[in-house]
Amino acid sequence: MKKLTKRNILYVVLPIAVVVALIILWEVLVNALDVPRYILPAPNAIWAALLKYSDWLYSNMLYTLQQIMVGYAITIAVSIPLAVAVTYFSILDRTLYPIMVVLQLIPKVAIAPLFIVWFGFGNLPKVLMVFLLSFFPLVVNSILGFKSINHRLLYMARSITDSEFRTFWMIRLPWALPSIFAGLRISIAFAVVGAVVGEFVGSDRGLGYLLLRANGLMLTDLLFACLIVLSLLGIGLYLMITLLERIVMPWNVFKKELTKSGGAATM
């Protein structure tokens, strides 16, 4: 297990100290140089804005979070079964996969206005935007995970059982899990971007909308407050996935520790 060695404490304390120092520097410089508030507010002004607009920020955050969760749920529900299908049916691998790669090259953010035309100003275009941005990393990583299976493992499975279900459940899926989780972690960051873009283009709610409003009203302190909430939202979601990963794959956490400490036990 981890020990709180001097070095470990240093690893935690040092970054925090650097951030605190930067914030203080920011505060001092803004005051000393008399930078206008609408260009760059001082940290304490941003803090004040966070408190002042907290109700507003909170309700809009909830709305954005909701779009992210729904869109991300769709991403998971589509990507993983699709990855499974691509793994099992080589025709899909040869047809669907190249199409997906090409579609991936379309700048998806540019599609957002089109979604407004097609789906109006409701939740649907935002949810779709979340889906569109977070879909690809998850599907690609999942496919890579499923495909990287050791073929001798499949030989072994086939000499034990005919059941493709059990082979999938006991071998293929756990094998792919580390990759799937890598995909989930990348995807969640894109999901947040997707929600904000969706709200930028046409919304009367959400943090993306609030950002634009704050910008329009030259409330730069509120704009920064939005950025902070948005960042915290992203970090929180990321941590949730990491936590889930630890619960689902206890052995993997362990493996990471092992590789860090340099090798397995010897006898």
Partner 1 sequence: MAAEKCVSVEFREVGKTYESISGKVEAVDEVSLSVQGGEFVSIIGPSGCGKSTLLLMAAGLIKASRGKIFVDGNPVEKPVRNVGFVFQDHLLLEWRTVKKNLLLPVEMGKNRKISDERIDKLIQMVGLSGFENRYPMELSGGMQQRVALCRALITDPNLLLMDEPLGALDALTRQQVRYELEKLWLERTCTTLFVTHDIEESILLADRVVVMSERPSKVMEVVNIDLPRPRVFSKGIETEFDKYKIHIRNIFERIGVLGSKAHAR
Span of 28-36, 76-84, 170-178, 193-201 interacting with partner 1 by CB under 8 A: 170-178
Q: Applying CB under 8 A, which of residues 177, 189, 227, 241 lies at the interface with partner 1?
A: 177
Q: Name the nearest CA neighbour of 176 among 155, 140, 136, 147.
A: 147
CA atoms of 49 and 43, how far apart (whole Å): 10
Axis crossing angle, helix 43-52 with helix 6-33, rounded to the nearest 10: 90
Asked if residue 194 lies in contact with residue 134, where contact means CB atoms within 8 angstroms, the answer is yes
Q: What is the dihedral of CA 124, 127, 130, 132, to 10 degrees?
A: -50
Q: Is residue 160 involved in binding partner 1 (CB under 8 A)?
A: yes
Q: Is residue 204 involved in binding partner 1 (CB under 8 A)?
A: no
To the nearest whole angstrom, how small is the minimum distance from the Cβ of residue 101 to partner 1?
Answer: 21
Q: Applying CB under 8 A, which of residues 5, 90, 261, 266 lies at the interface with partner 1?
A: 266
Q: Applying CB under 8 A, which of residues 50, 171, 182, 241 lies at the interface with partner 1?
A: 171
To the nearest whole angstrom, how small is the minimum distance from the Cβ of residue 35 to partner 1?
Answer: 54
Asked if residue 125 lies in contact with residue 104, where contact means CB atoms within 8 angstroms, the answer is no
Q: Name the strand (E) or helix (H) holding 57.
A: helix 54-88
Q: Applying CB under 8 A, which of residues 11, 38, 58, 254 lies at the interface with partner 1?
A: 254
Residues of this chain that interact with partner 1 (CB under 8 A) are 150, 152-153, 155-163, 166-167, 170-171, 174, 177, 249, 251-252, 254-255, 258, 264-267
